[in-house]
Amino acid sequence: MSPVKTSDPTNFYQDQNPAPGTAIEPTELEIAQGFANGKNPDPLPKLFQPLKIRGYTAKNRIWVSPMCMYSAKDGFSTNFHMSHYSQFAMRGAGLVMVEATGVLPEGRISPNCLGLWKDEHIDGLRNIVSHMHEYGTVVGIQLGHGGRKGSTIPLQLYGTRDSLRSTLEEGAWPDKVYGPSAIAYDESHYTPKEMTLEQIKIVQQAFVDAAVRADKAGFDVVELHSAHGYLLFEFLSPLSNKRTDEYGGSFENRTRMLIEVARGVRKVLPENKPLFVRISSTDWVEGGWEIEDTIRLAKILVNEGVDLFDCSSAGNDPRQKIPLAPGYQVQFATKVKNKVPGMLSGAVGLITNGKIASEVIESDKADAIFVAREFLRNPSFVLSSAHELGVNIKWPNQYERGRLKTKYSFV
């Protein structure tokens, strides 16, 4: 992941060695200056210990969750994406997962979502990935298809109209909204068409083709988005999948879509590149997908070459009743980690400070922490968490003067 050195003065970068976010022992002078109370804790908190997955090593276990930014046109990345993602890499995130990226034009959640359905998308993403690599960050991309929740308005328009449906003038595709069954999420979404077997094969191939492009763009990790009521999860849940063919009905049939996509993507990814799956561990609705189903699926996918389950929940049915509380979804990551040998797990959901994150990892409840909204509030979440836990870590060279202290001294 080392950046390519260049003599071009317009592309100069400061060598970050070690990379920001890496735990390092403070010097005696740094202790005297108040940057640390003393040596790093021994043993070092696992949150700041590296994690190796296949051919890649994340320098710490605090990772950026994929979050839709609604800032693209025709799927192309922009200067916003460069600024947005680079800030997390520069400030020490161990892994940054780029937002849900449509594998087809109609696979986007909104007309303003990123895409990777054509080769022209590769160069812009490659520039972003290359810049993040300068800070020693592992970079992933979440590949997805919006399914019945596609063709909706971007977040900034929520509450401005009665419906979440985007219009033709805004770039919508109401005639191409489809899912496993012709069941709308709710009255504010388009009613999807039930997919034909031919359409299922087209979508599966689109995931594979997008994974090839992700590899060409330099991404280290690919994550399949099978959560929050989007297409791959719509097939999993009996609440949204009422098919009577080989892709509906039994557990084996409902999981077939995701298993076949994962198998196809794993075949085209280099052996050293990890494959993740983000999963809604439960629907939080009686009669829906349950954690026991997630565990059963994980036992299958670990044998298909999936390396980590990114354990979220909900998003597939408006009747969901979610018991919101700090760390409320950690239980799912713990169950996957404990019951599926060989499968790593990521915990996500209202993890808002270093102490909560560290407790999860120290207690072996998960292998990594995915943080979303707290990174939007505090892009320096890794740096502030280290300070909170008394761990001395490398700051980006250019921001050294802003480094947090435990005391103030003129030494």
Positions marked catalytic: 230
Asked if residue 50 has a cis previous peptide bond (ω within 30° of 0), the answer is no
Structure tokens at 130: 């290359």
Residue 56, phi then psi, degrees to nearest 5? -125, 145
Q: How far is CA 287 from CA 11, 282, 320, in A?
A: 56, 10, 11
In Å, what is the CA distance from 77 to each residue of 58, 72, 82? 25, 6, 8
Per the structure block, which two tokens stand in for 300?
């299958």
Q: What does each C-alpha distance from 262 to 95, 246, 266, 350 come to in angstroms?
A: 21, 17, 6, 28
C-alpha 377 chain-centroid distance: 17
Rg (CA), the chain: 21
Query: Which three-class secondary structure state does DSSP give residue 185?
Result: coil
How would DSSP label each residue in 98-129?
Answer: EEEEESSGGGSSSTTS-B-SSGGGHHHHHHHH
Quote the Cα angle for 144-147-151, to 5°.
Answer: 100
> Exposed, middle or buried, 230 (CB in 10 Å: 0-12/13-18/19+)?
buried
Q: Where are the beta strands (DSSP E) in 266-326?
A: 275-280, 308-312
- Non-local (6+) Cβ contacts of 63 within 8 A are 93, 94, 95, 96, 97, 346, 368, 369, 370, 371
Sign of the Cα torsion 103, 104, 105, 107 reads negative
Three-class DSSP category at 374: helix
Q: Which two tokens stand for residue 4?
A: 């390519």
The 3-state DSSP class for residue 393 equals: strand
Tokens of 381: 């979440």
Beta 51-53 vs 56-58: how paired, if at all?
Answer: antiparallel
